[in-house]
């Protein structure tokens, strides 16, 4: 585009079919944005539900990172390998 050309000239250069395509693309973007906002809202609801479940579990069994072993299981983590003397 030559120097000094303005945006209105470029806007007029869009054909009617190009303008229709442009409007269709913008409408699709708006629809996708609305869908994304709905999806994010659903994720926030799921997160809140999971937070409630975790709160109930920690209220019953305690925080898993507090070091207690109230559940009766072994406090060892991972596999223990006893080496045999050579």
Please report the pLDDT score of residue 67 as a whole number.
59
Name residues whose C-beta falls within 8 Å of residue 68's C-beta, 6 or more positions apart in sequence. 62
3-state secondary structure of 6: coil
Q: Is 52 a member of any domain? A: yes
Host domain of residue 52: 35-60
Per-residue pLDDT averaged across 75-85, rounded? 66
Q: Is 20 a member of any domain? A: no
| Domains identified in the chain, total number | 1
| pLDDT at 6 > cutoff 60 | no
Q: Is 42 a member of any domain? A: yes
For residue range 42-75, list pLDDT tens digits in order.
Answer: 999 999 999 999 999 988 888 777 655 555 445 5
Residues 24-60, buried b or exposed e (16+ Cβ, 10 A)? eeeeeeeeeeeeeeeeeeeeeeeeeeeeeeeeeeeee
Q: Is 86 a member of any domain? A: no
């Amino acid at each position: 585009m030559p120097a000094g050309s303005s945006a209105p000239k470029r806007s007029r250069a869009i054909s009617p079919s190009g303008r229709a395509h442009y409007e269709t693309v913008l409408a699709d973007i708006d629809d996708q944005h609305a869908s994304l906002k709905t999806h994010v809202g659903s994720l926030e609801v799921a997160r809140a539900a999971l937070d409630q479940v975790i709160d109930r579990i920690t209220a019953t069994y305690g925080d898993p990172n507090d070091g207690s072993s109230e559940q009766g299981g072994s406090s060892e983590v991972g596999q223990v390998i006893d080496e045999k003397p050579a």
